[in-house]
Amino acid sequence: MTDRDMTDHEIKSLDRHALVMALWLGFAFVAVTLLKLGIEHGNLWALSLGFASVLIGFIAHVLVNIVFKTLFTPKEVALGLSVFAICLLWFGLAVFFYPQYRMTLFLPIALGFVVLTSAVIFTMITWLGVRGAFESFDIIRRFGPEKKR
Residue 137 within any structural domain of the chain: yes
E-strand ranges in 11-148 read none
For every one of its 149 residues, what pLDDT tens digit does the chain have, with 9 covering 90 and above? 555 777 888 888 899 999 999 999 999 999 999 999 988 888 889 999 999 999 999 999 999 999 999 988 888 988 999 999 999 998 888 878 877 766 778 888 899 999 999 999 999 899 888 887 777 776 666 666 665 54
- pTM recorded for the entire structure: 0.83
Residue 1 within any structural domain of the chain: no
Asked if 70 contacts 14 with a C-beta cutoff of 8 angstroms, the reply is no
Residue 40 within any structural domain of the chain: yes
Q: Considering Cα of 44, then 121, then 89, then 96, what sign does the dihedral take?
A: positive
Residue 3 within any structural domain of the chain: no
Number of domains in the chain: 1
Residue 30 within any structural domain of the chain: yes
Asked if 101 contacts 94 with a C-beta cutoff of 8 angstroms, the reply is yes
Task: Give the residue numbers spanning the domain of 77.
Answer: 8-148
DSSP summary character for residue 144:
S
Residue 2 within any structural domain of the chain: no
Query: Residue 31, exposed/middle/buried by CB under 10 A (0-12, 13-18, 19+)?
Result: buried
